[in-house]
Amino acid sequence: MSTQGNFNAEQEEEFFNKIDQVYDLTEASDFDAAEQLLLQIDGSISGPKENSSVGGVVLDSIYSFYEQTGALEKALPYFLEETDYLKEKMNHQKINSTRHFLTTGAIYYALKELDQARTYFGIAYEKEGARIFQDENSDYLRIALMDDAEFEAFKADFVPNKDEEQLELTEEQQELLDKYCEEGNEEMDKENFSAAIAAFNKALDVLPQPKDDWEATAWISASIGDAYFSEKKYKEALDHLHRAYQIYGSEEPNAFVLLRMGQSYLELNEEKHATDYLHHAYKLEGKDLFEDDKKYLKFLSSKVKL
């Protein structure tokens, strides 16, 4: 049975159970079964994903699965269906899913279809500026900012920007990483949140490119997001929390990250996203996770049956 908009509590529980099954099947290299289940989940949501409380999670999962299996071209139709809707919607009202354009551009970039990639990177830049490209492939922002002549020259000599993976840090890098993270944690304890953010960013700078290949990027980004949340800078918090979510989320969702994302969305009055992420966090760790501030548990209990 297909569903549009917000799922009820039973439907959401079934949804997340199936998403977890996709991750388990993918981890076990049973890709055919994982794909079949993933597309069944996608088919259970009628209408644009923008209008569904779990739509963004479905698209993130589709992108992650096909990227992992080396078949990103298969993700493209699902993203194009959504981008067509979003382009129409943003002509007359605000959209929630600006990052969707960046991801669509990234798919085209991976497929070496650069004219299309430029279109979607341009939309992302127009709506969010350079900050949405933070810590992404440096080519993405370059393409968004190029004039026509520069872009034609770039296409003529195009080689995908793929930095070689470094599997472990040097002793010096590890010492610096530990030093800056310790400084960040100490500043958090003192409630010097700006100083904590600066220290954690220094820690991120230590990690070689591509930074999102490092597990440390996830928990450092979560720490930066936590610091911004403590400063009540919720949009900035979400930039870093989303990064942590993407690194953690495909296999082992992090309950704290989900909690902070839900709390940040609620503070921004985006109740659909708040309900989605808070409910996911609750299902992972229960009400004890909400002990520090009961207002978020109270909100969640008004939206779903706990």
* Domain 171-303: CATH class, spelled out: mainly alpha
For residue 45, list its beta bridge partners: 3
Q: Decide if pLDDT at 1 tops 50.
A: no
Residues 6+ apart with CB under 8 A from 146: 118, 154
> Cα-atom radius of gyration of the chain, to the nearest Å?
20
Residue 7's alpha-carbon distances to 37, 53, 239, 272, in angstroms, are 18, 7, 25, 10
Helix (H) or strand (E) holding 21: helix 9-27
CB 234 within 8 A of CB 268: yes
Region of 47 (left: φ > 0; alpha: ψ -120 to 50; beta: rest) is left
Instruction: Tell me the per-residue pLDDT of 72-102, one tens digit each, with 9 for 90 and over.
Output: 999 999 999 898 889 888 888 888 788 899 9
Q: Classify 39 as helix, strand or coil.
A: helix
pLDDT grade for 9, boundaries at 50, 70 and 90: confident
Q: Decide if pLDDT at 167 tops 70.
A: no
What does the mean pLDDT of the chain come to? 88
Helix (H) or strand (E) holding 274: helix 271-285
Helix (H) or strand (E) holding 104: helix 99-110
Instruction: Tell me the per-residue pLDDT of 232-268, one tens digit each, with 9 for 90 and over.
Output: 999 999 999 999 988 886 557 899 999 999 999 999 9
Instruction: Compute the distance between CA of residue 25 and CA of residue 14 in angstroms, rounded to an integer.
Output: 16
CATH number of 9-156: 1.25.40.10
Residue 257's alpha-carbon distances to 104, 208, 234, in angstroms, are 24, 23, 13
**Window from 6-15, 59-68, 169-178 with minimum mean pLDDT:** 6-15
**Which residue ranges make up each domain of the chain?**
9-156, 171-303
Same fold flag, 9-156 and 171-303: yes
Instruction: Compute the distance between CA of residue 7 and CA of residue 19 in angstroms, rounded to an integer.
Output: 15
Residue 176: its pLDDT value, please?
93
Give alpha helix (H) positions in 146-270: 148-156, 171-189, 193-206, 215-230, 234-249, 255-267
Residue 57: its pLDDT value, please?
85
Instruction: Tell me the per-residue pLDDT of 280-300, one tens digit each, with 9 for 90 and over.
Output: 999 988 988 898 788 999 999
Instruction: Compute the distance between CA of residue 93 and CA of residue 51 in angstroms, rounded to an integer.
Output: 13
Using CA atoms of 2, 14, 73, 139 in order, give the dihedral in degrees to the nearest 10. Answer: 120
Instruction: Compute the distance between CA of residue 197 and CA of residue 184 in angstroms, rounded to an integer.
Output: 7
